[in-house]
Amino acid sequence: MVPPNVAAAIRGAGRPVCAYVYARERLRANVAALRDALPAGTRIAYAMKANGNEDVVAALRGHVDAFEVASGGELRAAAGLPAIFSGPAKTDADLRAAVEAGATVNVESLHELRRLQVYGGAKVCLRVNRTHPALPGTHAMAGVPTAFGIDEALLPEAFAIARNVQGFHLHAVSNNLDAAAHAAFIREAVAWAGDAARRWGVPAPVINVGGGFGVDIAAPTGTGGRFDLDVFKAGLAGLELPDGATLVVEPGRFVAATAGWYATEVVDVKRTHGQWFVVVRGGTHHFRLPASWGYSHPFTVLPVDAWPYPFERPGVRDATVTVAGEQCNPRDVLARDAAVASVRAGDVLVFAGTGAYGWEVAHHDFLRHAHPQFITV
Ligand SMILES: *Cc1c(COP(=O)(O)O)cnc(C)c1O
């Protein structure tokens, strides 16, 4: 089901329809639900890279405690809220800007740590790639060899370089749907950080366990796997933090994914070599995940009854279709073998669960088609 306010926004969009719709209420509800499951006092930093749309960022101000940023551009967009800056290739200009903005810098290497010492007064957390089993999820970043963080074995050197370390950053994975495993990861990370803080003399440590709360975008209506917040909350019950410690999380996908809908109008419906193709005005250059992850994104057909031409309207009933985009290449496919009751040229396909890592990671300017509209409700 497309929420009525989202459907109304799509019906009011320019034709042929091609739009992202973001819902402020849903963004805030997702933050509130996560906050309720976390220990009291946990700080929530929204990972802006999941969706850096201005309206989305504005809608979250006052509802999150900080923004997690991964570039100088995101740092500027965070202005007004505390920023937490991660990223493996920060430039000197990035570091300078971060210190000027009072951001916490999650330092990713010894070299970066040495460069940061040039600017006195930097707020430093060490991003550590610990020795632990990799978590379930789509992008393991710690516990395995990656470009992220400082190897645990190098911590003595890190503390020899810097005395102003405030804590640890332990972001390890993205899109983990196993809430029990994620709670166990956080418990273990807190215990590790407590030990490390004692060993290295870090008072009142910041313990940033990162993001990674999963959303099954192939079943955004909740019919498939989902990150079960009740299981997560139960898994964290009674968690004790070291004295004075602050727990920080950095959700991106969990906040934004279900707060976005990608709507694109059917331009043509046709059959070749025995297969039905529904050709839409947009495609994977607007919403790239189906192409990059190799899955079919579910959609709803929003019927549009008006038909402007005096001739036959292409369409098909009770069929299995492939939804192809406007690009001149055969990989521009949003869904394959999707069952539809009825779809016609002029109808609009609405893809729910597209608010995170959708537009942000797409190759927008390939082929120079017009960008979609962006509507916030
Ligand atoms: C990408 C990222 C996040 C957000 O990850 P999600 O899987 O979207 O929650 C948080 N922290 C860091 C350091 C990141 O790189």
| pLDDT one-digit tens code per residue, 316-374 | 999 999 999 999 999 999 999 999 999 999 999 999 999 999 999 999 999 999 999 99
Q: Is the pLDDT of residue 143 over 80?
A: no
Q: Which of 27, 38, 46, 49 to mutate to test the pocket of ligand 1 (most atoms within 8 A of CB)?
A: 49
pLDDT average, residue stretch 38-67: 97
Give domain status of residue 1, yes or no: no
CA 325 to ligand 1 center in whole angstroms: 29
Q: What is the pTM of this model?
A: 0.95
**Mean pLDDT score across all residues of the chain:** 94
In which band, very low, low, confident or very high, does the pLDDT at 221 lie, cut at 50, 70 and 90? very low
- Of 239, 256, 273, the residue at which a domain comes to its end is 256
The boundaries of the domain holding residue 337 are 258-376
Of 212, 215, 373, 362, the closest CA to residue 289 belongs to 362
> Which residues lie with the beta carbon below 6 Å from any ligand 1 atom?
47, 49-50, 68, 70, 86, 171, 174-175, 210-213, 250-254
CA 289 to ligand 1 center in whole angstroms: 16
pLDDT at 272: 97
Closest atom of ligand 1 to CA, residue 50: 8
Claim to verify: residue 323 and residue 212 sit in the same structural domain: no
CA 250 to ligand 1 center in whole angstroms: 6
| Ligand 1, atom 10, residue with closest C-alpha | 211
Q: Which of 174, 175, 207 to mutate to test the pocket of ligand 1 (most atoms within 8 A of CB)?
A: 174
CA 174 to ligand 1 center in whole angstroms: 6
Claim to verify: residue 57 and residue 188 sit in the same structural domain: yes
Claim to verify: residue 251 and residue 270 sit in the same structural domain: no
Claim to verify: residue 148 and residue 88 sit in the same structural domain: yes
In which band, very low, low, confident or very high, does the pLDDT at 140 lie, cut at 50, 70 and 90? confident
pLDDT at 223: 44
pLDDT at 222: 43
Give domain status of residue 172, yes or no: yes
Give domain status of residue 14, yes or no: no
Total domains in the chain come to 2
pLDDT in tens, 281-319: 999 999 999 999 999 999 999 999 999 999 999 999 999
- Catalogue the active-site residues: 328
Buried b (16+ CB within 10 A) or exposed e, 48-85: bbbbbbeebbebbeebbbbbbbbbbebbebbeebbbbb
Give domain status of residue 354, yes or no: yes
Closest atom of ligand 1 to CA, residue 211: 9
Q: Rounded to whole angstroms, how far apart are CA atoms 153 and 130? A: 8
Give domain status of residue 298, yes or no: yes
Q: Is the pLDDT of residue 136 over 80?
A: no
Cβ atoms 155, 175 nearer than 8 A: no
Claim to verify: residue 115 and residue 222 sit in the same structural domain: yes
CA 252 to ligand 1 center in whole angstroms: 6
- Of 210, 234, 256, the residue at which a domain comes to its end is 256
Angstrom CA distances, 53 to 30, 56, 99, 277, 359, stand at 17, 5, 24, 32, 9
Q: Rounded to whole angstroms, how far apart are CA atoms 205 and 207? A: 6
Claim to verify: residue 75 and residue 171 sit in the same structural domain: yes
- Of 196, 227, 256, the residue at which a domain comes to its end is 256
Helix, coil or strand: residue 90: coil
Q: Which of 171, 186, 206, 249 to mutate to test the pocket of ligand 1 (most atoms within 8 A of CB)?
A: 171
Claim to verify: residue 109 and residue 236 sit in the same structural domain: yes
Claim to verify: residue 60 and residue 96 sit in the same structural domain: yes
Claim to verify: residue 34 and residue 63 sit in the same structural domain: yes
Q: Is the pLDDT of residue 220 over 70?
A: no
Cβ atoms 176, 210 nearer than 8 A: no
Claim to verify: residue 264 and residue 303 sit in the same structural domain: yes
Give domain status of residue 18, yes or no: no
Query: The domain spanning residue 331 has which CATH number?
Result: 2.40.37.10
Claim to verify: residue 371 and residue 276 sit in the same structural domain: yes
pLDDT above 70 coverage of the chain, percent: 97
Helix, coil or strand: residue 226: coil
Cβ atoms 259, 27 nearer than 8 A: yes
pLDDT at 218: 78
Query: The domain spanning residue 116 has which CATH number?
Result: 3.20.20.10
Claim to verify: residue 94 and residue 178 sit in the same structural domain: yes
